[in-house]
Structure 1
């Protein structure tokens, strides 16, 4: 009797895609019909988070299955080597999978393969510019740029329209649509499906830079949102918490009070990117069907983090709030019932064990995440009580915990606390921490954070109480290793 063929794995990652920005999640503006269709074929996890919500620490959790404290990246810091010996791609490669990455990796050195047999790299504009500052040929850190020159001529670049890679300024793409970075990732990923060895199962990682700025989607995608009614961004009663960081004259600011017209264009650019990515994902999924492998392929869609997009006058990512930390998470494939929605609190470190279990590959002992395959199949099992998140920003660590119903935030510099009821106040507009009726609840969450931080390098706690004012760094001493010093 012949053994069943191992399933294929496709992991699609977007960059900076908010968890609420899916039609399937009820978003009032953004249109994502093809991702909604993927959700209808599989499972949507409605409480998925990026525990350290910027590119580098989030991707480290994705590829290693470890928490920030264990992989050592508790904030954003470039040029720290990625020396992890156990990765998702590496385990699948060892198990006989043909492994291919296409698109954004955001690792260092930039050509690190993380266990993939081959990488076709698209580095965003900031990394290309940093390469130039280091005296490197940009082609050494990016495959898209030389490809673009082949399409448009030797002087072509993808940042000559002047929009910065972290700016909220938006404008349509100024070149033929087929040359857009989003199209490049989708077409290169589809070409792998044509060139792959048909005797092997495959793992394809398709990683889009969008909807991360620059907000430069094709004109059709941008313009369809310009005149649509937009909900007002929420502004919490705690908005003055970041007043000292306000820089409204800087279009790449983290904190700014932006005029309505500029914000409308930013949202049109952001949502336009999403519609464009959605259609390119549809193209890639159609290629699975064209090659006859759709029915034996698991498809997972996630983002590395969200985007504040003006909520509470905040932009970009790194914050503990829902716009920044909550992400989309979809899983479809063999044996999964269509249209299911699960409310377990899940995170990026769960992706590695999930996809390894889908492939029937043993989960390494270094992995701290949990496989989502059981919940995706409708199995009711004990789950984590809460999620611990953290990120170094503005010279302090923003530590947070959530069980999907309540969120607790502690700022390591000042010791300031926040408490939100996500059930009645999902936009986090009312901070409950100052009310006398919340003292008992604050105490319970504070005790949980003390347990999470005990034994940590920074000395955030002595095991009994939280200690503010400790020095912090975006990388713990073991950031280039494989384990924890906890």
Structure 2
């Protein structure tokens, strides 16, 4: 084809305009939530883990090595990330409170994106099911949220949406029939009758991925990616995986990746020296399973064989979810959507696997509060590793910053985008992360994590940071140095050689709590 002189002059301008239009396209967001996921990944230094796909995602973008949740339990943690607000602002500290009722002024991340021209939809566990409004927080989705149950596996539907072992399924059928004969009515009561009698904590069956919930979630997510691409609007697609939450059920092929004989127990399986008892719990969540001794208390250790079985199950479930993440990444690549899609993968909290004799979460210790946090996509430099302490509340402003969307209102976090670009001169003024966990209704523990230290202070008199700090009563203090004691073996709070660092951290925490009080009480305006 021959061009006139005028056309030759216009070609560079047209190319510039085309590239400018391409770069200005709204960015899609793939938001991957993984229940109970601690940083037990190859990308986080655990070379014995088989996690090639999450490691691949880490290489594609940024890994945050010191990411901390706001509260180590599903309901509060998920309310915080979805609203960009600390628990004392959402007023969600349990598994029952809906932030739409406790803090109706807040707006969720996907809800606001809808007003900015985005299509928003979700699959699986994004909010905690028991503390979200109808429709899994229906305001968050322009296309309704779904929990798929179209099991096409030859093994059929898992019993109670969980178990595929044939013997277990038979027992559950028998117990269900027994409950009905006994006059027990209502699905909830029948379910309770069954689970009080048979509720295994692990299961390894030779079934395909889609015989369990998370395999179905992946298949539905890929279908939605295809339809969202065809529609052409920018989208927020949230995919929430159930595992590695208890029970540890996963196809046998993922269990076979690990040899149980080679699995090591937690390095420190005792109560820490000098740590107040209020810091611990007796892992009631795990004790609810019928193959676990329900008489265990604080400081009691599970039998070694059961510990190894549980750790094996957790590892298998992590690898199962890793495979699902790989399918999502492959789908994005096949659809040529990687270049314009922001991806974030996060755990809603960590998980104790026998350290301090603890299991599950529900604490302010490192194993409960620390999570993997991975970003990839436009604006994120490949292979970035960030060691600074950051928080889940930072995800909301970070995604909006990377997507070029203005924040709707005040959020408690900060954008982490400057930590993920290719300019070493950009940074974020953030030298600590805040977590909290309560004991009963009256005691709340606030935990401040820096790059090296953790200070936790436990306050009585029903203190929350929307109340004056002076009205509280300090009932416990913890201090750990992760450079010299990564396993939190000893509480350093009363040691003379840590007096100055303790004082410095106490001031940082007091300043944070006082700033929260000024904001939440309205006295800062």
Which sits farther off after the overlay, 298-307 or 390-399? Answer: 390-399
Name the structure 2 match of 1:484: 520
1:272-304 per-residue CA deviation (whole Å, 9 max, x = no partner) reads: 111010011101111111111112111111111
Name the structure 2 match of 1:424: 484
Q: Does 1:360 align with 2:393?
A: no
Q: Does 1:383 align with 2:429?
A: yes
Residue of structure 1 aligned with 2:312, choices 249, 261, 268: 268
1:420-448 per-residue CA deviation (whole Å, 9 max, x = no partner) reads: 01122222222211322222322222233
- 1:300 partner SS: strand
> RCO (CA 8 Å, sep 6+): is it higher in 1 or 2?
1
| 8 Å contact from structure 1 (residues 356, 363) kept in 2 | yes
CA deviation after TM superposition for structure 1 residue 251, in Å: 5.1
CA deviation after TM superposition for structure 1 residue 81, in Å: 5.2
| 8 Å contact from structure 1 (residues 47, 346) kept in 2 | yes
Shift of the 157–176 alpha-carbon distance from structure 1 to 2, 3 Å rule, reads: farther
Shift of the 382–243 alpha-carbon distance from structure 1 to 2, 3 Å rule, reads: closer
Residue of structure 2 aligned with 1:193, choices 207, 211, 225: 225
Residue of structure 2 aligned with 1:80, choices 95, 98, 104: 98
| 8 Å contact from structure 2 (residues 278, 476) kept in 1 | no
1:208-263 per-residue CA deviation (whole Å, 9 max, x = no partner) reads: 01111111111111233342523331233357736985479935578541111101
Residue of structure 2 aligned with 1:283, choices 312, 317, 327: 327
Structure 2 CA distance for aligned equivalents of residues 401 and 212 of structure 1:
26
Name the structure 1 match of 2:36: 16
| 8 Å contact from structure 1 (residues 239, 312) kept in 2 | no
Unaligned runs of 5+ in 2: 1-16, 173-193, 461-473
CA deviation after TM superposition for structure 1 residue 110, in Å: 4.3
1:300-355 per-residue CA deviation (whole Å, 9 max, x = no partner) reads: 11111010111101111121111100000111112432211011211111111111
Structure 1 CA distance for aligned equivalents of residues 521 and 342 of structure 2:
35
Name the structure 2 match of 1:401: 448
- 1:438 partner SS: helix
Unaligned runs of 5+ in 1: 123-142, 458-462, 464-482
Name the structure 2 match of 1:343: 387
- 1:429 partner SS: coil
Name the structure 2 match of 1:468: none
Structure 1 CA distance for aligned equivalents of residues 509 and 83 of structure 2:
23
Name the structure 2 match of 1:218: 251
- 2:510 partner SS: helix
Structure 2 CA distance for aligned equivalents of residues 93 and 211 of structure 1:
31
- 2:96 partner SS: coil
Structure 1 CA distance for aligned equivalents of residues 440 and 52 of structure 2:
38
Shift of the 79–312 alpha-carbon distance from structure 1 to 2, 3 Å rule, reads: same
Equivalenced residues, count: 437
Residue of structure 2 aligned with 1:241, choices 277, 281, 286: 277
Shift of the 441–97 alpha-carbon distance from structure 1 to 2, 3 Å rule, reads: same
Shift of the 69–265 alpha-carbon distance from structure 1 to 2, 3 Å rule, reads: same
Structure 1 CA distance for aligned equivalents of residues 301 and 242 of structure 2:
26
Which sits farther off after the overlay, 56-65 or 436-445? Answer: 436-445
- 1:205 partner SS: strand
Structure 1 CA distance for aligned equivalents of residues 159 and 429 of structure 2:
51
Name the structure 1 match of 2:360: 316
1:126-151 per-residue CA deviation (whole Å, 9 max, x = no partner) reads: xxxxxxxxxxxxxxxxx43xx34998
- 2:34 partner SS: strand
Q: Comparing both structures, which one devotes a greater share of its residues to helix?
A: 2
Shift of the 336–450 alpha-carbon distance from structure 1 to 2, 3 Å rule, reads: closer
CA deviation after TM superposition for structure 1 residue 409, in Å: 1.0
Name the structure 2 match of 1:476: none
| RMSD of Structure 2 on Structure 1 (CA) | 2.9
- 2:493 partner SS: coil
Shift of the 110–424 alpha-carbon distance from structure 1 to 2, 3 Å rule, reads: farther
1:140-198 per-residue CA deviation (whole Å, 9 max, x = no partner) reads: xxx43xx3499866895324547979x89322257553221110111111110122243
Structure 2 CA distance for aligned equivalents of residues 154 and 297 of structure 1:
33
Structure 2 CA distance for aligned equivalents of residues 45 and 150 of structure 1:
37
Higher Cα Rg: structure 1 or 2? 2
1:48-91 per-residue CA deviation (whole Å, 9 max, x = no partner) reads: 11021111111111111111222222x22315353554211012
> What TM-score do you get using the length of structure 2 for normalisation?
0.76
Residue of structure 2 aligned with 1:434, choices 461, 486, 494: 494
Large movers: runs of 4+ above 6 Å: 149-155, 162-165
- 2:145 partner SS: strand
Alignment of 1:324-339 (within 5 A): 324-339=368-383
CA deviation after TM superposition for structure 1 residue 365, in Å: 2.2
Name the structure 2 match of 1:445: 505
Which sits farther off after the overlay, 112-121 or 244-253? Answer: 244-253
- 1:274 partner SS: helix
Name the structure 1 match of 2:260: 227
Name the structure 2 match of 1:113: 138
